[in-house]
Structure 1
Amino acid sequence: MSDSATDQPYALIFDMDGVLIDNTPEQARAFQLLFRDLGLTTNARRLLRRLNGMPASEILATVFTNPVPKKQLEEYAAQRELLYRVLYWNKRREVAGLTAFLQAARAAGFRIGLGTGSGEDTIGYILDHLGLRRYFDVVVGKDDVKRGKPHPDTYTATARQLGVQPERCLVFEDAVLGEQAAYRAGMRCVAVGTSLSATDFQASLTYIRDFTELTPKHLLELLEQHSAVPKPHKKP
């Protein structure tokens, strides 16, 4: 999608968890089962409302009173990942309207990227099982960047690989920290309400419950009407 002023494309960059798929309940359940095994009383659902979008090992680092070695946190994160995959195995399905929207966006000329905090195995567990990889020009995961969300690295790297300037990128996010990552990357954001309400987000262009509520034409109108990128909160 381009305009006569710049002749540059627009790009759509999607988070994965909670955006392409509605898996937050299973993610929370996996964390809760891990916490039970570790003797922790942390409420996983409340935790994810604040920290969803961060790498699992960094989320886990916040629940311990005393510092835990990084290697141990990674082991806990791997345990949580296994629990999540078992819980979600038979539930893998795309958010309503996703494939039709991706097809329409590509036909309209948008570049399309995926920017997620998941590793390649987890990306494949979703994208390849659901046959979605074909719709993405670029896929960026946690192994491709040094810092996860809410830092901007994931979305900055995705835009760079897409060859599109940040101000012409629009991020789809279900998490408040992901929204902040988009603004830090100099991009605008659409909030996907699989687990949060519209008022939980700072300044999204629009709020959708699924992709049946949006068309590429409407998206282009929003982008052209709201050119300014919101300023992120000061603290990552």
Structure 2
Amino acid sequence: MPLAASDHALIFDMDGVLIDNTRYQARAFQLLFRELGLTTKALPLLRRLNGMPATTILKTVFRSPVPDKELKQYADRREFLYRVLYWDKRRELAGLTRFLEAARAAGFRLALGTGSGAETIGYIVDHLDLRRHFDVIVGKDDVDRGKPHADTFAVAARKLGMPPERCVVFEDALLGEQAAYRGGMRCVAVGTTLAARQFQAPMMVIKDFTQLTPALVLALLEAHPKAPRPSQELARRQYMHR
């Protein structure tokens, strides 16, 4: 029997998926690092750790432990810099709205699952009028653990009333891909941040949503009936590498 869209859900990360903003995120981190006298290169850092909360990413750049309150202040400063840099650049990834509308019309349930907080979600989602497309939105305040843990996607699936094996995650980051597999979900990779060869085992790597249709998603699910096992070693290597 052919698969039905109404029996499946699509869960989208935000940064690097709904929008192509990694270089602006990296620039904001780089400006913060310059203010703090740090020599860390922000873009390679984000290519490894995208998907994690900013405070968690910041923990990796200091040689000595930094109090959580101080990390929060640095993260807030980075967020301010990012919003200034990205203010006039907010654009959805090509084909996104058309695909979301087609997916909903086909019967898919739709969710947003991101490591960002409510204000940052609003800065993107409401400015681009995307909130209307999602049945569920899950952010960092809704889970105890961020990516590469599966919590974000697991909570989204639970709120949608959909079992994990019927969920497809759209991710641009390796740690987000690992979170999908930890949650027993399949993944479509969005190549805004990483080269296709850098992902573990997505069903497909797209450059934007002009390449995708609801029928193609169902065909991918037919061709990939099970979620891959997560590579804990791969995720750990990405996280620990300096």
Asked if TM exceeds 0.5, the reply is yes
Deviations 1:152-174 (A, max 9, x none): 00000000000000000000000
Which of residues 154, 157, 160 in structure 2 aligns to 1:159? 157
Aligned residue number for residue 77 of structure 1 = 75
Which residue of structure 1 lines up, in the alignment, with residue 130 of structure 2? 132
5 Å-filtered alignment, 1:105-144, equals 105-144=103-142
Equivalent in the alignment of 1:12: 10
CA distance in 2, matches of 1:18, 1:186: 22
Aligned ranges 1:1-236 → 2 under 5 Å: 3=3, 9-235=7-233
Measure, in 2, the Cα distance between the counterparts of 1:20 and 1:128.
12
Q: Show structure 1 runs of 4+ deviating over 6 A.
A: none
Matched pairs, number = 233
Per-residue CA distance 1:47-83 (angstroms, 9 max, x = gap): 1111111110000000000000111111110100000
Q: Give the AA of the match of 1:35.
A: F
SS at match of 1:130: coil
CA deviation map 1:16-72 (0-9, x unaligned): 000000000000000000000000000001111111111100000000000001111
Report the TM-score when normalising by structure 1: 0.96
Distance in 2 between the 1:8 and 1:186 partners?
A: 19
1:190-219 CA deviation, whole Å, 9 max, x = no partner?
000112111010000000000000110011
Percent identity over the alignment is: 69
Q: What 5-or-longer segments of structure 2 have no aligned partner?
A: 236-242
1:139 corresponds to which letter in structure 2?
I
- The 3-state SS of whatever aligns with 2:232 is coil
Deviation at 1:3, TM superposition (A): 3.9
CA–CA distance in structure 2, aligned partners of residues 179 and 3 of structure 1: 23
**One-letter identity of the residue aligned with 1:34:** L
Tell whether the 8 Å contact from 1:166 to 1:186 is kept in structure 2 after alignment.
yes
- Tell me the secondary structure at the aligned position of residue 24 of structure 2: helix
Letter in 2 for 1:230: P
CA contact (8 A) 1:8 1:164 kept: no
Q: TM-score, normalised by structure 2?
A: 0.94
State the Cα distance separating 1:234 from its structure 2 match: 2.1
Give 1:233 shift.
1.4
2:239 aligned partner: none
Name the SS for the 1:172 alignment partner. strand
The aligned amino acid for 2:132 is R
Q: Is the 8 A contact 2:15 2:21 kept in 1?
A: yes
* Separation in 2, partners of 1:22, 1:225: 28
Please give the per-residue CA displacement for 1:111-153, whole angstroms capped at 9, x wherever unaligned. Answer: 0000000000000000100000000000000000000001100
Deviation at 1:8, TM superposition (A): 6.4
Check conservation: 1:167, 1:188, Cα contact below 8 A.
Answer: yes
